Amino acid sequence: MTGRDMIAIGASAGGVEALIATLRTLPGDLPAALFVVLHLPAQSPSLLPDILNRACRLTVLHPKDGAKVAYGHVYVASPDHHLLVEHDTIRVTRGPKENRHRPAIDPLFRSLAYSYGPRAVGVVLTGALDDGTSGLLAIKQRGGVAVVQDPAEALYRSMPQSALAHVAVDYCLSLAEIGPLLTRLAYEPMQTEQPSPPTEELQREIRITAMETNPLNKHDQTGKPSAYSCPECGGVLWEIQDGKLLRFRCRTGHAFSPESVLAEQSEQLERALWAALKTLEEKVSLMRRLTLQSQENEHSWLAQRYETQWREAEEYAKLLRRILLQGTLELPGAGNEKIEEADPETLA
């Protein structure tokens, strides 16, 4: 009998250290395949397979599209590509971003849930915001096992906390305990239970990520239209109520949790304010110059008019600069975490 032999692990900020601690305890002959998504900058070369190969006894690599799944291997998502698994075949795609990321954790988790049902194990490690929660819920709904790093020891605890809040998690463990658990789950035969069939919605979302088709353009949207626009492309976001979890997807396939929408809106607002500050400072400079020129030409009424505009723009610029420098646009995350997930170790 087969054990829980298809294991997906998702991490973000602080994830390299967490992955090393998890994988180093696994035996080299583990009767399972592992799939890893770590949020990485799109244009940054990833040395993660090299780092993990030095830390564990399994074979770690970036897979090619169409590769066959093999036990004893750890398949790591490449930068700017989603990693999916379809019935023992690996898919590497550049589908729409999810939760502002490509690769994202949720698509990988959903693909394992769809293809393997009870054989799937999902593991959510350290990270900001909440990528991984929706995919972990899909794994649970298909009879798989949900594992979460104890938020108390996570460097960034938002991702584990989100999973715990929305999913009936089977295990909440320290990093030192997760590796031995995965080994035990891989070796222990499963109870012969008939899994619930995958939903059409689950299959549809996997097809969107795989770029096989876009069912959303065939008037086959899941959920209902919302009053919000997609931060990526400006299209209408459709609301999907997945158990207790609210999430969004647009017509072109971009997917977001509410926290991800807020984070992207915050960044867009900050960019807009910096642009406004630049325009105001240019206006101050020009009005000052026109004021001095009018004074030299003895056009006092015109100089007064320009100076009034100069002083008003200067006050607005001071206000904007104060708002931006105080960082009041940052969204408060759990434990006062910043939205930015860039992490020095992920740039290696």
pLDDT of 202: 84
For the chain, the 3-state helix, strand and coil shares in percent, each to the nearest 5, are: 45, 20, 40
Report residue 329's pLDDT band, with 50, 70 and 90 as the boundaries.
low
List, for residues 262-295, the tens digit of each pLDDT value.
888 888 888 888 899 899 999 999 999 999 999 9
pTM for the full predicted model? 0.81
Report residue 192's pLDDT band, with 50, 70 and 90 as the boundaries.
low
Point out the catalytic residue in the list 5, 12, 130, 254: 12
Point out the catalytic residue in the list 106, 130, 131, 343: 131
List, for residues 128-167, the tens digit of each pLDDT value.
999 999 999 999 999 999 999 999 999 999 999 999 999 9
Report residue 327's pLDDT band, with 50, 70 and 90 as the boundaries.
low
List, for residues 24-54, the tens digit of each pLDDT value.
999 999 999 999 999 988 887 789 999 999 9
What does the pLDDT average to over 77-105? 95
pLDDT of 342: 46
Please state, rounded to an integer, the average pLDDT across all residues of the chain: 87
| Residue 66 region by backbone torsions, left for phi larger than 0, else alpha for psi between -120 and 50, else beta | left
Backbone angles phi, psi at 65, to 5 degrees: -60, 130
Whether 131 sits among the annotated catalytic residues: the reply is: yes
Rounded to whole angstroms, the Cα distance separating 108 from 52 reads 19
Point out the catalytic residue in the list 39, 73, 82, 101: 39
Whether 29 sits among the annotated catalytic residues: the reply is: no
The CA angle 205-84-5, to the nearest 5 degrees, is 115
List, for residues 296-322, the tens digit of each pLDDT value.
998 999 999 999 999 999 999 898 888
Rounded to whole angstroms, the Cα distance separating 294 from 297 reads 5
**Do 46 and 62 meet the contact criterion of CB atoms below 8 Å apart?**
yes
